[in-house]
Structure 1
Amino acid sequence: MQKLRAVVGPILGEGDDSGGRMDSMIGSPVIVSDGEAEMKEKAANSASHKGAGVDVIVEPSKPKTHKELIEEELKLASEFEDQRMKSRMKKLSLVLLTLQNCVVIVALKYSRTPAARDSQGRLYITTTAVALGEVVKFAISVLIILWGGGLKGLVHDVKVEMVAKPVECAKMFVPSVLYTWQNNLMYSAMYHISAAAFQCTMQLKILTTAVFSVILLGKTLELHRWGGLSVLMLGCIFVNLDQSAGAPPPSGAARGGGP
C-alpha cells in the first residue's frame, strides 16, 4: 500500500511536494502487474487532465512452473475420470433396474400359476409374502447403516430421524398403508392378467406421479417430458387393447380359482 501511494500519490497531487514530484513523474514509465493495470490506467486518466502524461506498462504475469502445470493436468484428468465413472454408473444402474423389474415380474407371475401349487393345491399367502419382503428390506437397510456408521450411526439416525421428528414419522403412516395395499393388489393382479400387460400398466404410476406433482406441488414439466408421458400412456393403452381383443388368458385364470 505504501508503494502504491508513493507511485499514485504524486500523480494525484497528494502531499506538500507534489509539484516537484509531478515534474519527475512526467514521461516516466510505471511498471505494474496484471492485477494493478486497471487501477493504474484510472490514475493515468485522472492525471491527464492536469497535463501529466504517464506511460502504463503492463507487466506479464509470472508463468506457471512445470510442477504446477502437472498438478493442474492431473486435477483435470481426475475430474474427467469422475464424470466418466458417474456416467457409467448411471447406465449400469439403468440396466440393472430394468433386469430387476423384468425378473421380479416374471418370477411373481410364475409363483401365482397353478404349477406353483403344493401337493394340496394351495398357493402361498400374499400377505405373508408382502410382510416378509418388508422385513428383508428393513434388515438390509439396517445392515447398510451399520456398515457405514456402526452402532453409533444407527443410534444417531434413530434419534435424529424418528425420536426427534415424531410428527414426520406419523405422516409416513398413510403412504405406508397405501404401499402395503398396493403390494397385495399386485399379487392379485398377477393371477388374472399377463406379465406384459401388468408391467406396462404398472408404469402408469409415472404418469400419475407427474400429474399430481403438477397439481399438488405446483411443479412445471417441459414439453418433451409431457410428450414422453403421452407415449407411455399410449403404449399402455395399446397393450391392454391387445390383451382384451383376443389374447389368451393366463393359465391360472383359465382354470379358475383365485389368489
Structure 2
Amino acid sequence: MAIHRMNPENLKYISLLTLTVQNSMVSLSMRYATTRDGPIFFSSTAVFMAEITKLLTCLVLVFMEEGTMLRFKASLYNAIIKNKTDTLKMTVPSLIYVLQNNLLYISAANLDAATYQVTYQLKILTTAMFAVFMLRKKLFSTQWGSLFILVCGVAMVQLSAGGENRVVSVEQNRTLGFSAALGACVLSGFAGIFFEKMLKTSDLSVWMRNIQLSLLSLPLSLITSYANDSAKINDKGFFYGYDSFVYFLVLLQAGGGLIVAVVVKYADNILKGFATSLAIVLSCIVSIYLFNFELTTQFAFGTVLVIVSIFLYGHDPTKGKGVKKVSTMKDDEEKLLGGDPEDV
C-alpha cells in the first residue's frame, strides 16, 4: 500500500493532523447536532446506525486482509460460529459500549463542546484504575501525579462560570451532562480493559474483534432505541431529524476510531498526547466563534491542567536511562494501537 512507502516523519505529521481533527470534530459535531434549531434526531438510533457502519467497514477490512471470498467466509466462520463461546464473551463490552455511546450523546446535549471535551478526558483516570485493579498494572509515580492533576483540572472546568451565551432549542441540565460524561468514562475504562484482556487471549485481529462487537451491539442498540424512544419512533419514524449532517456524524462516530487505530501505530504516546491537547484547544477556539462560548480564567487554567496531565501520563521516565521497563497500561495501549477501545 502507498502508506507504507511514505516517509515516517510525514506519517507522524499526518497522524497528528488526523487525530486532532477527529477528536475535535466528534465533540463539536455532537454538540451542534443535538442543540441546533429544527427537528432533533433520536440519539439512540444514531448509535445503532454507527454500529452498522462500523460492522460494514470492518467486514471490508477483513475481506481485504484475507484476499479471497473463500478465505473471508472461512475466517468469519472460525472466529464467530466455531468459536461461539469466545464470541459470546464479547456481549459484556458490547452492552457497555451501547450504554456508553448513548451517555455520550446525553452529555454532548447538556454540556458545551469545550467542557464536554475536557471532562471526557477522565477516561484516562478510569482506565488506569481498572488496569491497576483488574490487570495488576504498575504505574509510574509521575502517572499517579498526572491522574491527580487531571481530576483537579476537570473539577476546575466543571466549577467554572464559563459556558455558551446562546439560546439552544433543547432543555439542558449541566448536572445531567456531567453525570452522563462521568458514567461514560467509567464504562469506557472497564470495557477497554475487558477488551484488552480479550485481545491478549486470542490471535484474532482488531478488525475481527470489532465484527464480533458489532454483531452483538446491533441487537442491543436496537433494543435500547425502542426501550428509550419507542413512542417517538413509532410516531415520527426511525430516521426522524436525519439529514446530511447527522449522517456525517454517524460516519464520524463509526469511522473515527478505526482511523485512529490505523494511523496511531505510526506515532508515539507523546504525539497522541499532543493531538488530544490540540483537539481540546481547537474545540475551545471553535466553540467561542460557533457557540458563543465564554472562556473564563478558571476554565482556561483547568484546561491547561488537563493538557499537562495528558503529557505527564504519556511520559516514560525510564526511557533513555537504561532502566528495565515495568509493564504499564501505556505499554498495553500500544498493543491496542493506541485508540479508545470503544472506537477501534
TM class by smaller structure: 0.5 to 0.7
1:88 to partner: Cα distance: 4.8
1:160 to partner: Cα distance: 2.7
Give the equivalent residue in structure 2 for 1:251: 167
In the alignment, which of 176, 188, 191 is matched to residue 106 of structure 2?
188
The alpha-carbon distance between structure 1 residues 85 and 160, as it changes in their structure 2 partners (threshold 3 A), is farther
1:101 aligns with 2:23: yes
1:241 aligns with 2:159: yes
Give the equivalent residue in structure 2 for 1:145: 62
Give the equivalent residue in structure 2 for 1:124: 41
Aligned length: 169
Amino acid at match of 1:143: V
1:113 aligns with 2:35: yes
Map 1:1-259 → 2, pairs under 5 A:
85-86=7-8, 88-115=10-37, 117=38, 122-150=39-67, 151-242=69-160, 245=161, 247-248=163-164, 251-252=167-168, 256=171
1:249 to partner: Cα distance: 6.5
1:131 to partner: Cα distance: 0.7
Distance in 2 separating the partners of 1:198 and 1:142: 32
Unaligned runs of 5+ in 2: 174-228, 230-344
Question: Does the 8 A contact of 1:146 with 1:154 survive in 2?
Answer: yes
Distance in 2 separating the partners of 1:192 and 1:112: 9
Question: Does the 8 A contact of 1:162 with 1:169 survive in 2?
Answer: yes
Question: Does the 8 A contact of 2:36 with 2:168 survive in 1?
Answer: yes
The alpha-carbon distance between structure 1 residues 230 and 94, as it changes in their structure 2 partners (threshold 3 A), is farther
1:223 to partner: Cα distance: 1.6
Distance in 1 separating the partners of 2:12 and 2:128: 22
> What's the secondary structure of 1:176's corresponding residue?
helix
State the TM-score, normalized to the length of structure 1: 0.58
Amino acid at match of 1:252: V
Question: Does the 8 A contact of 1:130 with 1:180 survive in 2?
Answer: yes
1:94 to partner: Cα distance: 3.7
Unaligned runs of 5+ in 1: 1-81
Distance in 2 separating the partners of 1:169 and 1:186: 26
Distance in 2 separating the partners of 1:225 and 1:87: 28
Distance in 2 separating the partners of 1:225 and 1:166: 38
RMSD of Structure 2 on Structure 1 (CA): 2.6
1:87 to partner: Cα distance: 5.7
The one-character-per-residue Cα deviations of 1:234-255 (angstroms, maximum 9, x if unpaired) are 221111111xx364576337x6
State the TM-score, normalized to the length of structure 2: 0.45
The one-character-per-residue Cα deviations of 1:80-111 (angstroms, maximum 9, x if unpaired) are xx9x9556534532431221010111111111
Q: Percent identity?
A: 31
Question: Does the 8 A contact of 1:106 with 1:195 survive in 2?
Answer: yes
Question: Does the 8 A contact of 1:191 with 1:250 survive in 2?
Answer: no
Larger Rg: 1
Amino acid at match of 1:111: A
Give the equivalent residue in structure 2 for 1:42: none
Distance in 2 separating the partners of 1:236 and 1:246: 13
1:124 to partner: Cα distance: 0.7
The alpha-carbon distance between structure 1 residues 257 and 223, as it changes in their structure 2 partners (threshold 3 A), is closer
Question: Does the 8 A contact of 2:112 with 2:163 survive in 1?
Answer: no
> What's the secondary structure of 2:139's corresponding residue?
coil
